[in-house]
Amino acid sequence: MTHKYTPEELGAFISPFEVMATGADEGPLKGLTFALKDLYDVEGHVTGCGSLRWAETHEPATQNAAVLDLLLAAGATLMGKTHTDELAYSLLGINPHYGTPLNVRAPDRIPGGSSNGSASATAGGVVDFAIGSDTGGSVRGPASFCGLFGMRPSHDRISLAGVMPLASSFDTAGWFARDAEILERVGNVLLQSDGSGSNNMPSKILLAVDSFERMNDGARQVLWPLAEKIAQSLGPVNEVRLSENGLNKWMEVFRVVQAREAWNNHKEWIEKAGTPTDWGVGARFKMGSQITDQEFEKGCADREKITAHMNGLLGDDAIIISPTTPDIAPLIESSRDFFAAFRDQALSILSPAGLARLPQISIPVTDINGAPLGLSIIGPRDQDERLLHIATVIAGQM
């Protein structure tokens, strides 16, 4: 990164770029600065959630989100709150109220969402790391598009107290960093772990063939050889198909359960304040309102079958290697139809970890035509610390 970006050039922040909360004098993150997605409460400030209406209809927070208090106690200093897609319900990073933060690695392409501002701020170098959230891919996707390390932790490993919910059984507190060492340091703080006992390497490496088949041809031809090389460096490799019925079927299960949960969480507010103005977000909430109890219950049952299957594949100490996204970031000027099709394609790759409540890390491994593309590792549930260690091992080989 030759150009040093200013916060104003990035367009990543909804608040002034300045010290918003000072970290403790000592701690494992002492001296590091960070940004916080505008879903997390900061005492005395309104949490806007990417929506003018939300900001207008909510009072300032009376206390900090639990994640923020952990980071401040560890010595990190908050430099501001970052943009998100409206109500965090998108993978694009385009907001009708606030615009699109800069993808510094590919300025003519989207940064990805919904943690777009956090990804832009980290990639642009104005903070050392940033906090996002990941429900369907909102950290993993932007990490791939912006050339970052990005982690979705195991569901329920990190408290979401003081964070706007989207789909509660999928929501996680994720984070971005430009290098694996900081990713791991932040992770140990958020996971409230010293990282000990996390150095065991996996006994088996599973290459998710059907996830790679969901990629666009050119991107797959670049990423597959890299995935094979990385897999072989870690241990015994097996090629597997994650889904016997096809990943599109899994994606539909994800969409049904997520959309109904999102509608349940925000029905009352939407009926008072009006449908979100983002065309895609509004359509998804409408879809959620039309999902029947029977459809939702079937989706939840199918999800548990998927979870059992994924847990069986991983056992206690295997990892899955998968693409993070089907291709590099789409061009900002792409059509709505293109964005909608790309989102479905991306969700078919991203949904397995979310459905099974598993940790996943996107690792920057290559560029195509100058734009970044990430590769992911998925681990057994609650083995987040070990996954972070494996990411540092992979980074050290590159």
Catalytic annotation present for 335: no
Dist CA 29 CA 246 (whole Å): 42
Catalytic residue among 115, 138, 243, 362: 138
Q: What share of the chain is helix, strand, coil (3-state, %, to 5)?
A: 40, 15, 40
DSSP secondary structure letters along 61-72: PSS--HHHHHHH
The two three-digit tokens of residue 234, written as one number: 């870690």
Catalytic annotation present for 37: yes
Catalytic residue among 51, 114, 133, 144: 114
DSSP class of residue 202 equals P
Dist CA 21 CA 43 (whole Å): 10
Strand segments, DSSP code E, in 48-103 are 77-82
Residues 33 and 128 sit within 8 Å (Cβ to Cβ): yes
Give the C-alpha distances (Å, rounded to integers) separating 12 from 85, 91, 121, 220: 12, 16, 6, 30
Give the length of the chain: 398
Write out the catalytic residue numbers. Answer: 37, 114, 138
